Structure 1
Amino acid sequence: MGLSQWWPFGRVPEMSPEELAQAMENAQVQVLDVRTSVEHRRSRIPGARHLPITQFSKRRLADLELDPDRPVVAICLSAHRSIPAVRKLRARGYEARQLRGGMLAWWRAGLPCERGNEGVGG
């Protein structure tokens, strides 16, 4: 995996906030928040697992125990850090995509969030 996988630009498969909310309701996807710990504590999608993009490694991903048979949706603030996350997840065999527009789009859509330390894990 070269340096180009870290490039936060380019196209990767995406999902809208509304599509993600529906897929989560039907337990069709797993959500992986790749923002910093501070960002994650402030506001996050309920049930999202957390692994900052700066800490991505084969071991750390394995620790999350993601289901290889369910798609993973990577999220960040504005859909830039999630691009390399999607590339790395796909390189490890996951069906992965990003949340189009990131948390900014999720918040604009008025979709549910958790705040503070409740429910924080991973």
Structure 2
Amino acid sequence: MFAGVLMLVEGIFGVLGGIAALAENDVYARVGDYVYKFNLTTWGWIHLILGIVVALTGCGVLKGLDWARGIGVGLAALMIVVQFMWLPYQPVWAIVSIALAVFVVWALCTDHGRTSTSSSTSSSS
């Protein structure tokens, strides 16, 4: 549940950050020469699309869907890489987002599933 909630929050923040980057080009600081330099419209689309996918996967994790757990680990790892590349634009938020993604990976990888009790409660005699 922890990972699902974090993914949902991270996805919503990604969507909001993507919309902000698409709406106004002066919302984020201009970066000089940086290896991973894209224009803000490109970064906006990256954050918007990734945010939607992360939020939907977070909903899947909350519902307990098996596919969402594996995809969630992959998306969280991708979020770490994207936020590292986004570091010069929003350094504090990028570090917070990287930490959240690390917690998501940890929570999804250490969860051993829900224990189901298959013992019957009614016995016939």
Fold match by TM threshold 0.5: no
Higher normalized contact order (CA 8 Å, seq sep 6+, divided by chain length): 1
Bigger share in helix: 2
| TM value normalised by structure 2 | 0.28
State which structure, 1 or 2, has the greater radius of gyration over its C-alpha atoms.
Answer: 2
| TM value normalised by structure 1 | 0.28
